[in-house]
Structure 1
Amino acid sequence: MFGAVSFAPLQLAPATIAGVLYAVRAHHLGQRGKAVPVWRQSCFYGGLAVIVVSLTALGDLAGETFVAHMSEHLLIGDLATLLLVLGLTGPLLAPLLRIHLLDPLRVLTHPLIALPLWAFDLYLWHLPALHEAAVRHEALHAVQHGMFITFGVLMWMPLFGPLPKPPWFGNLAKLFYIIAVRLLGGVLGNVLLWSGTVLYPVYGEPVSDQTTAAAIMMIESSFVTLGLFGWLFFRAARESEERQQLLELAAARGVELSEERAARAVSAGRGDELRRRIEAGGLTAAGHPGTKLSWDS
């Protein structure tokens, strides 16, 4: 399936710059005693590697067959962006978050905004006229890839990103979010699979090329969905256990802690911080049951 390796500086330069900036920031945090976990660094660099390998190994073929083009887009817009988001932490993004001019952009990671934007981008670039234009023009093709990566990152941010989530976006909401993402992708896959006609004549291939590409899209989506369901199940179980431990610790230390606040802290990934505050509050409040712990997650 792979052809000759090709290089597209216009598309590979952003990945190189992102890798350098990430490495510099991670090194700086490590010197300050706030090292980025190795698994997160591996995810981020792995995401960049997927992008680079996809663009170089599939670059020429993507202009010849829809199967190759679909594979390229799934790798860079779905899997690579997932790895990139898994590699991010709050401290890593801190320099960007301090730029007040970028504050309005935070709303783009809200689940009710990130999902429609991702869906719009997905369907936009599969309109025959725009898709074929991207195949014919390298600059537009680079824009297409850039938008797939940008909106893919935004789509994954509500699930795995370090930025604050809406209070209502708990595990049940995450479940519906995952289902919505997969359904939106599934609709497009079914259109490509069952249309019965070649939608992108630019490839000059029979309809089987299109149906094979659609099948690859739906198979990849199924595996990703199963993985996400498994992750969500184990996350819910872990959070339930951690929440119960915090409540029991608070009760033992005479610190007042509601189940709602414990759940909010655990969901935000601040369970350890809350545990330390409970222990500090418990020591301070020795002999004074019912001392209230202030917590704003």
Structure 2
Amino acid sequence: MPHHAMLMPTLAHVVGDEPHDGHWWTAWNIDPVIIPVLLLLSTLYTVGLINMWRRAGTGHGVSRLQATAFAFAILSLVVALISPVDVLAIELSWVHMIQHMIIMMIAAPLFVIAAPTRVMLFAFTTVGRVRLGAMFRMPGPYLLWQPLLTWALYAFTLWIWHIPTLYEAALRNELVHDAQHLAFFIASCLFWRVLLDPLSRLRLNLGLGVLYLFTSSLHSSALGVFLALSPRVWYPHYETTTAAWNLTALEDQQLAGLVMWMPACTLYAAAAALMFYFWMRQLQHPLPAVAPIPNQKLETGN
């Protein structure tokens, strides 16, 4: 039987009520929650960017590179959550792992680099901007930017959603599935913000950043190892879908574990190596630690 001989009925909550007769590449996820949210984020960022650059000049406040990062973050989320990747993720566990990697290790860091909070504030009036900005300066939000807390939240979110009961619920219920992806995205944005925040005073020390990434790679790799080497199937749902792809559910799970174990670990290692390189350069050529001063024109809206 060809790999994509059919799409299982369990895909109904993702792609609609009618099967796609094996043409999985046409099965896009027209989700009534995800699409409006992505459109809203894109609109707020675009309007905010136009207003910001109109006041401060193109490329000021945020750079063209940051604006490009936002575009690619949204594109990554479209690939992960709306494209046929979302369909295959219900059929194959290893694709589901790739989907999660796109959300957590590509879309989230790009989103952080784009400085979305700063830009989106400029989609509002001056009064609204001041009020919303004050909310982000309260102690509560800043607690979520503490490295130990964000590290623990990231690890907890990753592991808790791979508990079979919750994972199976996400596969079978659209709202739970959306909640899973939202949890992954928020936890990942907080995780990467500590390392990539555009304001240097809010970033973790480069040396500690290497440790932050290394320890994260250890626990995520451990989860991948457990999946890859487990003698039993963790998620019975895939026992009903993988046969159409000439795989057993256990083989599919082993591939999923390897995806989490090897490629994910490589991405963490690459980020840690890059951070280590800049740390060594910083130690050899120390520079005065001067936090960037926000553009007064942008802050006041004058």
Question: Shorter-chain TM-score: what band?
Answer: 0.7 to 0.9
- Equivalent residue for 1:82? 109
Correspondence 1:199 to 2:245: no
2:68 maps to which residue? 42
The answer to whether the 8 Å contact 1:128/1:199 transfers is yes
In structure 2, what is the equivalent of residue 109 of structure 1?
Answer: 145
After TM superposition, give the deviation of residue 45 of structure 1 in Å: 1.2
| Equivalent pair of 1:189/1:218 in contact (CA under 8 Å) | yes
Q: Which residue does the alignment assign to 1:73? A: 100
Compute the RMSD of aligned alpha carbons: 2.4
1:200-226 residue CA offsets vs partner (Å, 9 max, x unmatched):
001114201001011112232233123
- TM-score for both structures, normalised by structure 1: 0.76
Equivalent in 180, 188, 191 of residue 223 of structure 2: 188
Select the residue among 186, 199, 209 that pairs with 1:174.
209
Report the number of matched residues: 249
1:73, distance to aligned residue in structure 2 (A)? 1.0
Residue deviations 1:17-48 (CA, integer Å, cap 9, x gap): 11111111111110111342111111111011
> Residues 22 and 238 (structure 1 numbering): CA distance in 2 closer, same or farther, change over 3 Å?
farther
The one-letter code of the counterpart of 1:155 is F
For residues 92-107 of structure 1, the aligned pairs below 5 Å read: 92=119, 95=129, 96-99=132-135, 103-107=139-143
Q: Distance in 2 between matches of 1:238 and 1:45?
A: 31
Higher RCO structure (Cα 8 Å, ≥6 apart) = 2
Give the AA of the match of 1:122: L
Equivalent residue number for residue 287 of structure 1: none
Tell me, which stretches of 5 or more residues in structure 2 are unaligned?
Answer: 5-23, 122-128, 243-248, 294-302
- AA aligned opposite 2:34: Q
Q: Equivalent residues in 2 for 1:127-142 (5 A)?
A: 127-142=163-178
1:211 matched to 2:254: yes
1:42-84 CA-to-partner distances (Å, cap 9, x unmatched) read 1111011111122122122222221121111111122110111
- Bigger shift: residues 213-222 or 234-243: 234-243
Shift of 1:157: 0.6
Q: Secondary structure at the match of 1:98?
A: helix
Instruction: Describe the shift of the 1:149–1:100 C-alpha distance in structure 2 as closer, same or farther (beyond 3 A).
Output: closer
Structure 2: how far apart are the matches of 1:123 and 1:162?
29
Out of 43, 51, 54, the position equivalent to 1:20 is 43
In 2, Cα distance between equivalents of 1:9 and 1:231: 39
Deviations 1:143-202 (A, max 9, x none): 1111111001011010001356579x4221111001011112111111101112100001
Does the C-alpha gap of structure 1 residues 238 and 98 become closer, same or farther in structure 2, counting only changes over 3 Å? Answer: farther
Contact 1:89/1:161, CA 8 A, preserved across alignment: no
Match for residue 223 of structure 1 among 260, 266, 272: 266
Q: Is residue 147 from structure 1 mapped to residue 183 from structure 2 by the alignment?
A: yes
DSSP 3-state at the match of 2:33: helix
CA-to-partner distance for each residue in 1:100-133, whole Å, 9 max, x for gaps?
6854112101111111011111111100001001
Q: Which sections of structure 1, spanning at least 5 residues, go unmatched?
A: 245-261, 274-297
2:53 pairs with 1:30: yes
2:194 is aligned to 158
TM-score normalised according to structure 2 size:
0.75
Quickly say closer, same or farther: Cα 1:208–1:197, change in 2 above 3 A: same
Partner of 1:279: none
Query: How far, CA to CA, are the matches of 1:32 and 1:240 in structure 2?
Result: 37
Q: Is the Cα–Cα contact under 8 Å of residues 158 and 165 in structure 1 kept in the other structure?
A: no
Identical pairs, percent: 26
Say whether the 8 Å CA contact 1:40–1:87 is kept in structure 2: yes
